Amino acid sequence: MELPNRKKQRLSQFDYSSENYYFVTICTADKKHLFGKAGELNQFGKIAEKKILDIPNHHYGVRIDKYAVMPNHIHAIVVLGCAGKTPTEKIPSLYTVLGSYKSSVTREIHEIAPEVTVWQSSYNDHVIRNNADYSNIWQYIDQNPERWNEDELYG
């Protein structure tokens, strides 16, 4: 049986542990609405929010500049290398940061509902290239809950 060719989601030859700003989107499994309503997080959504805010406490040189927890996905601007380099601390890769985030959210949700599949297998990322790109993404994340509610109302 021949498996289908999957589209590569990462930039080839790019070091995803390099100091940079990244826009990421992490979707729930089957795009299920696990986290409540836009702007009104349920118990699972509050776990997802708590864990995203906790990322800098677990990963050296990582900061979350902006995020939104939506009913079936999360958007975030993740900054790698915000603390500068020291000889003893290594900046983690984006893959490591997001993998541990997804695992910690899943662990806590499984304490409440072990049958729930929380995440899709991967995530989408975009390397933020300049200030204009950063500003557009910030605005997109900021307006995402409002747009979601309009789509729900009129969609």
DSSP string, the chain: -PPPPPPP-S-TT--TTSSEEEEEEEEBGGG---SEETTEE-HHHHHHHHHHHHHHHHSTTEEEEEEEE-SSEEEEEEEESTT---SS--PPPHHHHHHHHHHHHHHHHHHH-TT---B-S--EEEE--SHHHHHHHHHHHHHHHHHHHHHHHH-
pTM score, whole prediction: 0.85
Mean pLDDT across the chain, nearest whole number?
87
Return the pLDDT at 19.
86
Domain 20-143 classification at class level: alpha beta
Return the pLDDT at 42.
97
Question: Over the stretch 86-103, which tens digit does the pLDDT of each residue have?
Answer: 556 788 999 999 999 999
Return the pLDDT at 155.
40
Return the pLDDT at 78.
97
